[in-house]
Amino acid sequence: VEPTGGVVCFPRLKNREDSREFCEILKARHSVSLLPGFTFETPAYFRINFGVDRENFRQALDLVRLYVEDARR
């Protein structure tokens, strides 16, 4: 039976008050779509949707990881 809903994660960005720029950069540079938390009145957070196939999800998480590691430098 195919699920009718999805599973999401809602992490918080440390040392940032708003996740919009983070989400916009990932979308523009890597075509990774995250939903900024201001939509839910929690701007420092962002939503990750697990409702995609595993391989695309792994690739997207790798791109998020690489971006975060690069931003720390």
Q: What residue type is assigned to position 2 of the chain?
A: E
What distances in angstroms separate CA 59 from CA 21, 52, 64, 73, one per listed residue? 21, 11, 9, 22
Weakest mean pLDDT among 10-14, 18-22, 30-34, 67-71: 67-71
Give tens-digit pLDDT for 39-69.
Answer: 999 999 999 988 778 898 899 999 999 998 8
pLDDT for position 3: 64
Q: Can you list the alpha helix ranges (DSSP code H) found in the chain? A: 20-30, 54-72
What's the pTM value of the predicted model, to 2 decimals?
Answer: 0.81
Give tens-digit pLDDT for 21-37.
Answer: 999 999 999 999 999 99
